[in-house]
Amino acid sequence: MGKTLTEKILARASIRDSVEPGDIVEADIDLVMGTDVMMPLSFEIMGHIGTDSVFDPDKVVIVLDHFAPAPNIKAAGQAKLIRECCRRFKINNLIEVGKGGVCHTIVPDMGMVTPGDLVVGSDSHTTTYGALGALSTGLGSTDIAVALTLGRLWFKVPPTIKVILEGKLPPLITGKDLILYVLGLIGADGARYKSLEFSGGVVARLDMDDRFTICNMGVEAGAKNAIIEPDQKTVEYLQRVSSRPYSLLKSDVNASYEKVIEIDCTDVEPQVAFPHSPDNVYPISRAKGIRIDQVYIGSCTNGRISDLRMAARFLKGAKVHPDVRLIVTPASQQVYLQAVREGLAEVFVKAGAAFNTPSCGACFGGHFGVMAEGETCLSTTNRNFRGRMGSKESSVYLASPAVAAVSAVMGHIADPREV
């Protein structure tokens, strides 16, 4: 029986000829990624276990992105501790404020992930890197501490669910709409500790930004990892960002899947996730007219340059509704600069939006756009749990940048196809 892409990566990393779903393997890590939220605890745990060095400083990257720039004294102290620990452990890949951005955008853009890699990160949306044909997954502080110390971890080989996206993708339907549609179909635990493998003609035609978005939100179905087979578009992306050698692993044609889900995307509408779960999804026709107080465009899900271009398309020459706050946050310094060069930043500012420095702040209710009691936000982020962006008495809807931009102008959730 053939093997899936995820199984092949775990077999390679654990130096085995093959693995089966349910096997427990001890695998070598190709990259450990940490953020400012969880790394202080990981460093504390390393102290408890007596770690005096990391397994390979060149295979570690730490990004200050959640509380960045520091919004309060406690956050500033956490960042200071991380800087001190990076000096102690000789970790040179510390991505500072003003030099990087949101981890799941800049890490692949730095060329630090390639097809076939096994990557772990101290953030659940580390699944993003599966868009490059890597097995990437989020872990807790203790596991990250062990990974930093040993460069190895145990994994249970997950079964794989294959999602085949076919048909003709309608105009204005993006990777965000597709993954929301899938989440609405299979539910928040529909892929719990499973690998979600996305394929099909629609996926083949998607650009890398949309693929990153899909894999980013695979974890919202409970997936251990989300992954897309590397192809020519993957190679072209890597040619721009990386000089590392890699292998283009693919699933065997006779690979065994726990389930195969086939979706015809021809009639998919723009999708909206209602409060308070990313799988509480309805077509835009069910959401039109819902009043909003704030719109947020950004995050590791939809803060890339193509997302900002899409939003600017609907905001150029328009004005944000007087009852709405629009916050636009590019996901990296590179995206920020490109937005300035292309005139997108000017479009946002003239429309009445706040154009922020790269940060995760608003996405998780840290800063740069915290919601008050009774307020409603339409966001391009990945989660809308109760209290996710601020008050537990606020509400968050999730949608694509096109839906978000049009809604910011209209003052309520609106369908970009009607503009």
Q: Does residue 271 surpass a pLDDT of 90?
A: yes
In single-letter form, the type of residue at position 209 comes to D
How crowded is residue 332: how many other Cβ atoms within 10 Å of its Cβ?
Answer: 26
**What integer is the mean pLDDT of 218-245?**
97
Single-letter residue type at 40: P
pLDDT of residue 290: 98
DSSP β-bridge partners for residue 31: 119
**CA separation, residue 95 to residues 297, 301, 327 (Å):** 23, 19, 24
Backbone angles phi, psi at 27, to 5 degrees: -120, 150
What's the longest Cα–Cα distance across the chain? 62
Average pLDDT, the chain: 97
Query: What percentage of the chain exceeds 90 in pLDDT?
Result: 99
> Which H or E run includes 7?
helix 5-13
Cis peptide leading into residue 278 (ω within 30°): no
**% of residues, the chain, pLDDT over 70:** 100
Mean pLDDT computed over 116-122: 98
CA distances from 205 to 168, 192, 260, 415 (A): 10, 28, 20, 24
- CATH class of the structural domain 271-418: alpha beta
pLDDT at 1 over 90: no
* Domain 8-263 indexed as CATH 3.30.499.10: yes
| DSSP assignment string, 232-274 | HHHHHHHHHH-----------TTB--SEEEEEE-TTPPPEEEP
pLDDT of the residue at 171: 95
Q: What is the dihedral of CA 371, 376, 379, 381, to 10 degrees?
A: 60
Domain boundaries, the chain: 8-263, 271-418
Q: How confident is the model at residue 67 (pLDDT cuts 50, 70, 90)?
A: very high
pLDDT at 401: 98
Which has the closest alpha carbon to 33: 131, 157, 124, 153?
Answer: 124
pLDDT at 287: 97
> Tokens 């997108």 correspond to what residue?
344
Q: Are strands 60-63 and 152-156 parallel, antiparallel or unpaired?
A: unpaired
Structural contact between residues 216 and 127, judged by C-beta atoms closer than 8 angstroms: yes
Q: Does residue 386 have a pLDDT over 90?
A: yes
- Over residues 106-126, the mean pLDDT reads 97
Task: Provide the pLDDT for residue 14.
Answer: 98
In this structure, the dihedral spanned by the alpha carbons of residues 221, 225, 229 and 230, taken in order and rounded to 10 degrees, is 120
DSSP state of 158: P
Q: How confident is the model at residue 302 (pLDDT cuts 50, 70, 90)?
A: very high
**Cα 402 to Cα 25, 175, 315, distances in angstroms:** 43, 12, 10
Q: Of 152, 127, 151, 154, whose CA–CA distance to 138 is shortest?
A: 127
**Per-residue pLDDT at 134:** 98
* Residue 307: pLDDT band with limits 50, 70, 90: very high
pLDDT reported for residue 46: 96
As given in the structure block, the two tokens for residue 1 are 């029986």
Is residue 273's pLDDT more than 90?
yes
pLDDT in tens, 183-224: 999 999 999 999 999 999 999 999 999 999 999 999 999 999
In 110-231, which ranges are continuous DSSP H helix? 141-150, 175-186, 201-205, 208-216
pLDDT the model gives residue 419:
87
55 burial level (CB within 10 Å; 0-12, 13-18, 19+) = middle
Q: Residue 33 and residue 155: Cα distance in Å, rounded?
A: 17
pLDDT in tens, 352-374: 999 999 999 999 999 999 999 99
Is residue 270 a contact partner of residue 399, using CB atoms and an 8 Å limit? yes
